[in-house]
Structure formats: C-alpha cells, structure tokens
Amino acid sequence: MSTPTSAPAGAATPGAGLRTAIIGGTGYAGGELSRLLLDHPAVADIVPTARGGEDFERVHPNLLGSGLAFTGVDTVLDKAGEFDVVFLCTPSGEAMRLAPRLLAAGTRVIDLSADFRFADPKAYETAYGAPHTAPDLLPEAVYGVTEFHRERIARARLVANPGCYVITALLGLDPLLRSGLAEPSAPLHIAATNGTTGAGVKPRTEILHAEVFGSMLPYSLQGHRHAPELETHLADAAGGPVTVDLSTAHGNFARGIYIQASVRIRHESRERVSRALLLDRYRERYGAGKDGEFFVRINDQGAEGGPTDKDYRRYPSLAGVTGSNFCHIGVDHDPRRGVAKVVAVTDNLVKGAAGSAIQNMNVMLGLDETTGLRTHGL
C-alpha cells in the first residue's frame, strides 16, 4: 500500500483559489468534472470549453444556476499559463496535439483520453490505429492510478488518467496477482459491464433508452482496445507477462462499472487458498481505516446460510458506489475448480473518470487527495 507524500515545492494551499479549465466540457466526463469541481473548496475558477457555441446549462441542466459558461478552446490555449490545471476530455488524438502547447505555457495537464497511457508509441498505434504525434512526452507521462503511483504523480506535469474499465480492473486484480497465488500461464478472464454513459454523448440508435432498457449490449468481443493497457499494467503486479481475456458490454443503467474476473490459482497453492486468505491479501495491499486507501473498500461480509443460498450482500453492488469516487471489491474462491473470483465496482464517471482526475489533481498540487471527493455512494 502506498502512503501520501509530503507536499512538493510550489504546492497549492487549500483556499488559494485554483484556476482550472476543462477542454471538452460538453461530454459526460466534462460535465462530471464541472459538477465535482464546483464543490471543491480549493477551486476558485472552472472554465469548460465547447466548440460550437453551446449553452452550458442546456448541455448540463443538472448544473442549472452554477454560473458556469462555455468558452472557446483557443481562449484556454491562449491563456494556458494562467491555469493551475487543464483537464483534457477529448477524443483520442486530440490530447497529444494540445498537451505540448499547454505544458510549454507552464500548466499541469491531466489527460482523460488514451493518448498518454502507453509508454511505447507503437503500443498506442497498435491499440488505436493511428501514430502518436507527441512521443517525446510519453516518458514523462505518469499513469494516474493514484493508489499505485502517487509519489510520481506528486512530481508530474502530465498525468494519463486511466479509463473506467482499466482502473476498476487494476484495483480489483492487483492484490491477487501481486500475492503470487495466480497461475501466470492462465488467461485472466474479465467480464466487464459499463453504463450507457460509457458510450459517450454522440447519439446512436443502439444506446437509446428504448433499445437498451431490459437488454444488454455486448461489443468489441473481437479484442477490446483496453486489453493491451490492462496487460501492460497487470504485468507489473504479476511480475511477468499476463494475458487478459476481456469481454465488455453496456448494461441497461446510465452509470457504473461492474467487473467480474476469474483467476486460476497455482496448483501448488490450491490447498491453502480460501476466501479468508484472499481477503487478507487485499487488506495487506489496501489497508483499512484511516491508515488505508480511502477510496478502496473491501467487502468482507461473512457468509450467511448454506452453500446453495444466494448470499447477495457478500459481494459489492453498483448501487453502493454510484455518485462516489470509491471502488468496492469483493472476493471468493471456488475450491473445486481452483479459481479465485473477484468483483469490483466503480462509478464510471467518477472513479472511472472525473473523480480519479481530481484525486490526481489534489496529489499534484499537494492537497489532501480526498479533498472534494469524500461523498459516499447514493
């Protein structure tokens, strides 16, 4: 488990009046960033951008009366040096075009797209089908899972915020792989379901409420673009290469990430593995109480009833994290098949996007990383 570092030189002071900008403010992530930053006690200014002259309160009616208004992207670029942090909520390919100019002006950048998530530009090109146009920035981009990399984030100018599937899966699987109990040659089977907000705001018939309600919408089963990203970062925990079999779908809910993973246990470890042992490994990794990772909570409810009873409260649910920056994790063990089961849930717009970005901002600026984010699930 990592522990918070002391504030770096030039760290912000709570109440100092931070200036923030959101390039790409019309989407779900940009709207959620605006909502959370409005309640951040150290943030004085929020400048969201739009390209088409949209009215902020028509695009984000939940923020009616907030006083926020869209401005143009060029205005933010021209005044980049006046901002403490600029968030990039842009399509793939845009952040790598904008980041060099923003960094040159002296601001910090948190990229919520995939542009800086790979250290190797060839890996980005393989996953996204286009060359990387700012490869010189990749070595300094810090991968923004705060719980794993906060010391580097505290010194960073550029943070690559992970996506919702990846951050949920990494938090859910890291302790198990790091424990050495997993069979390294067996694929990690991950079934991941995302809310329809994960499909973005661009209208498509398939994700209309009338189409998705009462149904499921599987996609990218031929190979999801986030699988290589997962393999890269889970290899750090496993101590060697891993293969991720990632299956994804949109569920008939607006927001949330539900991940259920099956991990084969090493044959020589199967006799000693139990749910209690797995829970111990997760507590060792994430701690508990005031000394633990605040935003990672382990569901360790004891078993109730017999082996065939449906003990629902033994595992986390999406409802428990909606609207929050928490990741709830549950584990279990199938001894007959030698398989560990992991359930991890987050809100894809908060811990999976805007919330983790603000958590990273807090660390970059020397603030308590929970500032503005301590709200529990609805």
Residue type, 288: A
Domain ranges for the chain, please list them: 18-162+352-364, 165-348
Cα–Cα distance measured from residue 255 to residue 250, given in angstroms and rounded to the nearest whole number: 10
Cα–Cα distance measured from residue 101 to residue 11, given in angstroms and rounded to the nearest whole number: 22
Annotated active-site residue in 164, 259, 350, 358: 164
Cα–Cα distance measured from residue 282 to residue 263, given in angstroms and rounded to the nearest whole number: 15
pLDDT at 289: 62
Instruction: Return all residues near 329 (Cβ < 8 A) that are at least 6 apart.
Output: 171, 172, 282, 296, 297, 298, 299, 316, 342, 343, 344
Cα–Cα distance measured from residue 65 to residue 53, given in angstroms and rounded to the nearest whole number: 19
The answer to whether the predicted template modeling score (pTM) of the entire model surpasses 0.85 is yes
pLDDT at 2: 44
Closest CA to 340 of 181, 232, 168, 169: 181
Alpha helices in the chain (DSSP H): 28-38, 56-59, 73-78, 95-104, 121-128, 146-153, 164-178, 209-212, 226-238, 275-286, 355-364
Instruction: Answer yes or no: 164 catalytic.
Output: yes
- Collect the ranges in the chain with pLDDT lower than 50: 1-15
Question: Within 10 Å of residue 139's Cβ, how many Cβ atoms?
Answer: 7
pLDDT at 9: 33
pLDDT at 302: 86
CATH superfamily membership of 18-162+352-364 = NAD(P)-binding Rossmann-like Domain (3.40.50.720)
- Give the CATH number of domain 165-348: 3.30.360.10
pLDDT (tens digit per residue) in 119-136: 999 999 998 999 999 999
Sequential DSSP letters for 25-86: TTSHHHHHHHHHHHT-TTEEEEEEB-SS---HHHH-GGGTTS----B-HHHHHHTGGG-SEE
pLDDT at 290: 66
pLDDT (tens digit per residue) in 306-363: 777 888 889 999 999 999 999 999 999 999 999 999 999 999 999 999 999 999 999 9
